[in-house]
């Protein structure tokens, strides 16, 4: 049996459980950092709006989690990822909604006209690691076990996967994704849990190394953080983003 959290987390109507794809890309891109110039957010700035539907405390928690991500990813206190309230001139921005399940598109998707919706259902998805997971999708990252080298680290038990859900365990190619030469990360907040999409309660994905747990949802791992820094070219010197006002937030 999947827990309530899992059910919310793995919206079965969505690709990979919780990832959304623009129509144009539905059958093309797929792991880790997605390749392509349309993926990273320009200058690492992700404008956002939060639609009504949350209590003020929930909205504040979402924003506080964004700020925590900024701090964790920052190098020498220079932020190289920044979430800020959208302004009228923003062409691309994410829209956070209290909809069904936890879900996000992957990347900025430059040139694509669509609502870049990040769905964070309350209750279920307003937890720090769940918010981080979806925002990492938005920043351009797929699930860890989608890496081209994943079969060296995990075993997929196809017989235990729910009918119609096998495609959620697809492995992507080096053409579609870029591991950025980081090691496979069992501790990634982007890694599936062992029972994700299980039809019978038995593990669908298992580590090939004993005594390794997968699917933690506590925080971004050190490698998760490293991957974002690499993807957004956060150098040791740091990329200085322009100061922004954080006093205004969407309702
Ligand atoms: Zn996900």
Query: For the segment 42-81, what is each residue's pLDDT rounded down to a tens digit?
Result: 999 999 999 999 999 999 999 999 999 999 999 888 888 9
Q: pLDDT by residue (tens digit) across 92-128?
A: 999 999 998 889 999 999 999 999 999 999 988 999 9
Q: pLDDT by residue (tens digit) across 192-220?
A: 999 999 999 999 999 999 999 999 999 99
Ligand 1 centroid distance, CA of 137 (Å)? 7
Percent of the chain with pLDDT over 70: 82
Range in 5-14, 19-28, 47-56, 85-94 with the lowest mean pLDDT? 5-14
Taking the C-alpha atoms of residue 37 and residue 31, their distance in angstroms, rounded to an integer, is: 16
Ligand 1 centroid distance, CA of 237 (Å)? 31
Burial class (CB in 10 A: 0-12, 13-18, 19+), 9: buried
137 in a labelled binding site: yes
User: How is residue 88 written in tokens?
Assistant: 């009228």
pLDDT band at 247 (very low <50, low <70, confident <90, very high): low
- Catalytic annotation, residues: 134
Range in 136-140, 180-184, 243-247 with the lowest mean pLDDT? 243-247
191 in a labelled binding site: no
Q: What topology does CATH give the domain 4-231?
A: Collagenase (Catalytic Domain) (3.40.390)
Q: pLDDT by residue (tens digit) across 124-146?
A: 899 999 999 999 999 999 999 99
φ and ψ at 118, to 5 degrees? -115, 115
Contacts of 35 (CB under 8 A, 6+ apart): 29, 175, 176, 177, 178
Ligand 1 centroid distance, CA of 118 (Å)? 11
Residue 65: closest CA among 38, 96, 41: 96
Ligand 1 centroid distance, CA of 104 (Å)? 8
Ligand 1 centroid distance, CA of 17 (Å)? 7
Contact 155, 208 (CB under 8 A): yes
User: How is residue 162 written in tokens?
Assistant: 């729910």
Number of residues that make up the chain: 251
């Amino acid at each position: 049996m999947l827990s309530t959290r899992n059910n919310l987390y793995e919206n079965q109507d969505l690709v990979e459980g919780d990832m959304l794809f623009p129509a144009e890309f539905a059958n093309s891109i797929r792991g880790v950092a997605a390749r392509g110039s349309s993926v990273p957010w320009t200058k690492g700035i992700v404008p956002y709006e939060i639609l009504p539907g949350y209590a003020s405390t929930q909205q504040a928690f979402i924003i506080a989690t964004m700020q925590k991500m900024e701090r964790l990813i920052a190098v020498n206190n220079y932020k190289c990822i920044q979430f800020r309230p959208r302004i009228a001139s923003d062409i691309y921005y994410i829209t956070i909604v209290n909809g069904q399940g936890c879900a996000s598109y992957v990347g900025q998707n430059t040139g694509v006209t669509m609502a870049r919706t990040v769905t964070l259902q309350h209750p279920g998805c307003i937890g720090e690691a769940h918010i981080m997971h979806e925002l990492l999708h938005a920043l351009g990252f797929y699930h860890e076990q989608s890496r081209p080298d994943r079969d060296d680290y995990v075993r997929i038990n196809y017989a235990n996967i729910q009918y119609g859900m096998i495609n959620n365990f697809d492995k992507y190619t080096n053409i579609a994704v870029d591991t950025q030469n980081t090691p496979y990360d069992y501790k990634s907040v982007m890694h599936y849990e062992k029972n994700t999409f299980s039809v019978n309660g038995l593990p669908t994905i298992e580590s090939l190394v004993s005594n390794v747990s997968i699917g933690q949802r506590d925080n971004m791992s050190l490698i998760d953080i490293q991957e974002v820094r690499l993807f957004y070219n956060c150098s040791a010197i740091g990329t200085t983003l322009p100061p922004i006002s954080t006093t205004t937030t969407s309702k």
